Amino acid sequence: MKPQIRSAALLLALSLGLAPAARAADDVVTVGACQPITGRFAFAGIAINAGLQDYLNLANEKQLVKGKKFNYVYEDSGYDVEKAVACFKQIMAKHSPVIMYGESTGLGKAIAPELNSRYKVLYASASFSSELADPKTHPYSFISGPTYSDMFGILLEYIARNKGAAKPKVAFFYSDTEFGKDPIPYAKKRAAELGIDVVAEIVTKAGAVDVTSEVLQLKKQNPDYVIFQGYILSPIIEVIRATKDFGLKTRFMGTFWSMDKGIIEKLGQDADGYMGVMPYAYFYEDAPGIAAMRAYNQKVRPDVKYQPNSYIQGWFTGMVYVEAVRRVVAAGKPVTGENLAAVLDTIKDWDTGGVTGKVTFVSHKAGVGRIYKANAAKGVFEPASDWIYSK
């Protein structure tokens, strides 16, 4: 019985894994990516993949780093940690990249021990988890934007700046997942510092639909603001509709994943007043960096009129990769994961052409974002503040 399995495994080994690692030429910078092209995160994975790939192609076309060409290789990881780790190892073995992109917080944590001890490549991911933004435990990882904690900090800062005479009352409404719970301890601390009352913390299952009791609780506490975390659409839409029915004046806020244009389409007229924090500008805004993105899209896929915010997330990550490589090359050093990770925190007041605010990396993250407010009639988000930097 077993020998056949072993020989099958060996055959597979030969066909899949043992292909000799392609030795990259000195002028090629290989960027590998495990993208959730299928699975429940596919809605974002496909766009992130396109954004990252597009920017690296643009960098090649425009020769953004003299004498270096970016070679992008990606695989589908299906938003499953085991498959993603396998994908990571497969790409490392086959292409030996110096930069990797990963699909989730889970992959970031699972690969960390080997990333730190063996692979030593620059690593970014679709995750905004504050856990990965710790240069001590994750020296090769960075967050391409603010962490969820930073996003909460920016929202609370906005609330504090726009408060009236009374102390603002805020409720946190989050899912009992890592995604939902990540920023809450920091948010509570920051709210206390800014003189904001956290009147309620409501925890639900991710994607919960029946929210009657939660809405009743909101009615009782009557907060000025409710901040959602750990959801994409459900139950944000249900909660906003139900509280409107009760006639509450509460303002609703979201973070990155619940700030795409799609939520306005789903909410219709109820979207007016919905607001939240975005680390990057939207595809339709007037900024040189965004205009360049639109021009590139016009060229490669003329029929596309809009790209979601996860596309811009991928694009911006590409910008950071290219900038890091540029800095390493400018310093006359070899492009290795160690050198790339070392230049990250030297990025200060970096002008991204309005793709986001001035970028300064501290602790391997860029804590910048802007408050946007939904305009239901036009079906877009419009800036409600300037770029805010988290403390």
For another protein, the binding residues (CB under 8 A) are 1-10, 12-13, 15-18, 37-38, 42, 46, 75-76, 78, 81-83, 85-86, 89-90, 92-94, 106, 109-110, 112-114, 117-118, 131, 176-178, 181-182
Nearest CB to another protein, comparing residues 94 and 364:
94
Q: CB of residue 16 vs another protein: minimum separation in angstroms?
A: 6
Alpha-carbon distance values, 83 to 50, 80, 94, 199 (Å): 21, 5, 16, 41
Min dist. Cβ of residue 8 to another protein (A): 7
> Which of 344, 384, 365, 324 lies closest to 56, judged by CA?
324
**H or E element, residue 389:** strand 388-389
In sequence order, what are the residues at sequence separation of 6 or more whose Cβ sits closer than 8 angstroms to the Cβ of residue 46?
35, 37
Closest CA to 27 of 101, 98, 100: 98
Least distance between another protein and beta carbon 72 (Å): 12
Q: Measure the CA–CA gap between 318 and 124, rounded to whole angstroms.
A: 10
Q: Which CB sits closer to another protein, 311 or 361? A: 311
Cis preceding linkage at 235, omega within 30: yes
For another protein, give the closer residue by CB, 181 or 188.
181
Whole-number minimum distance, CB 53 to another protein, in Å? 11
- How many CA atoms are closer than 13 Å to the CA of 250, on its beta-carbon side? 31
- Residue number, 34 or 170, with CB nearest to another protein: 34
Closer of 85 and 371 to another protein (Cβ): 85
Decide whether 296 or 350 has the Cβ nearer to another protein: 296
Whether the Cβ atoms of residue 318 and residue 59 lie closer than 8 Å to each other: yes
Question: Do the beta carbons of residue 327 and residue 253 sit within 8 Å?
Answer: no
Closest approach, Cβ 7 to another protein, in A, equals: 7
CB of 87 to another protein, least distance (A): 8
Return d(Cα 161, Cα 37) in angstroms, integer. 40
